[in-house]
Amino acid sequence: MYTQAMDTLARESGDALKPVRSTEEKLLEERFDARIDAGDFIEAKDWMPAHYRKTLLRQISQHAHSEIVGMLPEGNWVTRAPTLKRKLILLAKIQDEAGHGLYLYSAAETLGTSRDQMLNALHTGKAKYSSIFNYPTLTWADMGTVGWLVDGAAIMNQVPICRCSYAPYARAMIRICREESFHQRQGFEALLTMMQQGTEAQRAMVQDAVNRWWWPCLMMFGPPDAESPNSAQSMRWGIKRVSNDELRQKFIDATVEQAKLLGVTLPDPELKWNEERQQHDHGPIDWAEFWAVVGGDGPCNQERLGARVKAWDDGAWVREAALAHARKHTPQQQAA
């Protein structure tokens, strides 16, 4: 609908700018809200408010960027996996993540922004990706811990997105979540092997990895609800179904039990069961650290972005060759 492009701003009394909406647009918005309230899914060609489109594009493209940046800390360990079996599992997981990036970029493209534009935003530091991938993977136990905790947190956050009101995103998430489940289980199993069959040094390596990843994993769910600028509107539109704090709490409650099975300690002396709330209490999260990492000041931000930009530059010849091949096969070329 042409009205989607009519994002005109009119100067009202004073200096405040307010969008002018036609009667038709107001009607469209009412119908859209009614569809959301009825639990309908929105498809790419349906009318949607400009802000809904923008919010989705922001979240889906950030999610896609997280998948492909998330390949880097693991790629670091492919040549050092301890056995052939572990190497194959790790390679499969990393390939899955490339696939997740592709599904998500495709879902975002349905909203009218090209992949090149999204990647440009990533490479120039304008777009965000998950804070978690700005931490280093120092030992082999980090691979198991990333699978167990990082993918575990990702599943907790992503399962509700399978019911996101924007259908192309929801469809992509169903497949992604199935694969994430394998990722989490392989991580847990790798750690269990080290804890039950490993040496004292290997068990200490697992505990050290858990100590380093626990708090950054809790930050993955985003800022507390009261300080989350996007949550209220995203929940209203059914983009987010469960709040940042609720998901974080569910993750903590589930992980405490798994940690007992593994025989590791979670590095929070204040972590304890609260009978009244029927949930675990936990110690304070260092939000200053979170915002520093999100703002570009984490331990590996520069390295991660540098690696992505290099991969893009190194791949220029592939893109050029693919374009040349496509041009050769266009009907005009064939007719000539």
Closest by CA position to 233, among listed 155, 165, 328:
165
Which positions from 130 to 149 touch ligand BYC by CB under 6 A, shown as an x/- string? xx------------------
Instruction: Pick between residue 162 and residue 309 the one whose CB is nearest to ligand BYC.
Output: 162
Work out whether 220 is an interface residue with ligand BYC (CB under 6 A): yes
- Tell me, rounded to whole angstroms, the distance of Cα 3 from its chain centroid: 32
Which residues 257-316 are close enough to bind ligand BYC by CB under 6 A? 294
- When asked if residue 248 is in the footprint of ligand BYC (CB under 6 A), the reply is no
Query: How many residues at the interface with ligand BYC, by CB under 6 A?
Result: 29
Is residue 147 a contact partner of residue 158, using CB atoms and an 8 Å limit? no
Task: With residue 18 as reference, give the H or E element that holds it.
Answer: strand 17-19
Do residues 3 and 22 touch, judged by C-beta distance below 8 A? yes
Note whether 228 binds ligand BYC by CB under 6 A: yes
Is 223 one of the binding residues for ligand BYC (CB under 6 A)? yes
- Residue with smaller CB distance to ligand BYC, 203 or 240: 240
Nearby residues of 44 by Cβ (< 8 Å), 6 or more positions away: 110, 111, 167, 168
Could you say whether residue 63 binds ligand BYC (CB under 6 A)?
A: yes
Number of Cα atoms under 13 Å in the Cβ half of residue 322: 5
Stretch that binds ligand BYC, among 14-22, 215-223, 266-274, 326-334 (CB under 6 A): 215-223
Binding range to ligand BYC, per CB under 6 A, among 28-36, 125-133, 197-205, 301-309: 125-133
**Residue of closest CB approach to ligand BYC:** 70
Cβ 29 to ligand BYC shortest distance, Å: 21
Nearest approach, Cβ of residue 115 and ligand BYC (Å): 17
Determine phi and psi for 166, rounding to 5 degrees: -90, 110
Told to check if 128 binds ligand BYC by CB under 6 A, we report yes
- Please report the DSSP string for 192-252 in residue order: HHHHHHS-HHHHHHHHHHHHHHHHHHHHTT-S-GGG-TTHHHHHHTTS-SS-HHHHHHHHH
Please name which of 15, 19, 140, 53 lies closest in space to residue 89, comparing C-alpha atoms.
140
Count CB atoms within 10 A of the CB of residue 223: 18
Q: Which stretch binds ligand BYC (CB under 6 A): 23-31, 105-113, 218-226, 252-260?
A: 218-226
Which of 137, 145, 202, 244 is in the footprint of ligand BYC by CB under 6 A? 244
Long-range contacts from 82-88, C-beta under 8 angstroms, 24+ separation: 82/140, 86/143, 86/190
Q: Which of 36, 72, 122, 150 is the binder for ligand BYC (CB under 6 A)? A: 150
CA 28, CA 48: separation in Å to the nearest integer? 8
Least CB distance from residue 12 to ligand BYC, whole Å? 26
Under the binding rule (CB under 6 A), the answer on residue 156 touching ligand BYC is no
Please select the residue that binds ligand BYC; options are 25, 32, 48, 62, rule is CB under 6 A: 62
Other C-beta atoms closer than 10 Å to the C-beta of 197 total 8
**Residue 238 found at the interface with ligand BYC (CB under 6 A):** no
Pairing of strands 272-274, 279-281: antiparallel
58 is an interface residue for ligand BYC by CB under 6 A: yes
- Selected from 234, 249, 255, 301, the binder of ligand BYC by CB under 6 A is 234
Q: Using CA atoms, how far apart are residues 74 and 76, in angstroms rounded to an integer? A: 5
Query: Would you tell me which residues interact with ligand BYC (CB under 6 A)?
Result: 58-59, 62-63, 66-67, 70, 97, 128, 130-131, 150-151, 154, 157-158, 219-223, 228-231, 234, 240, 244, 294
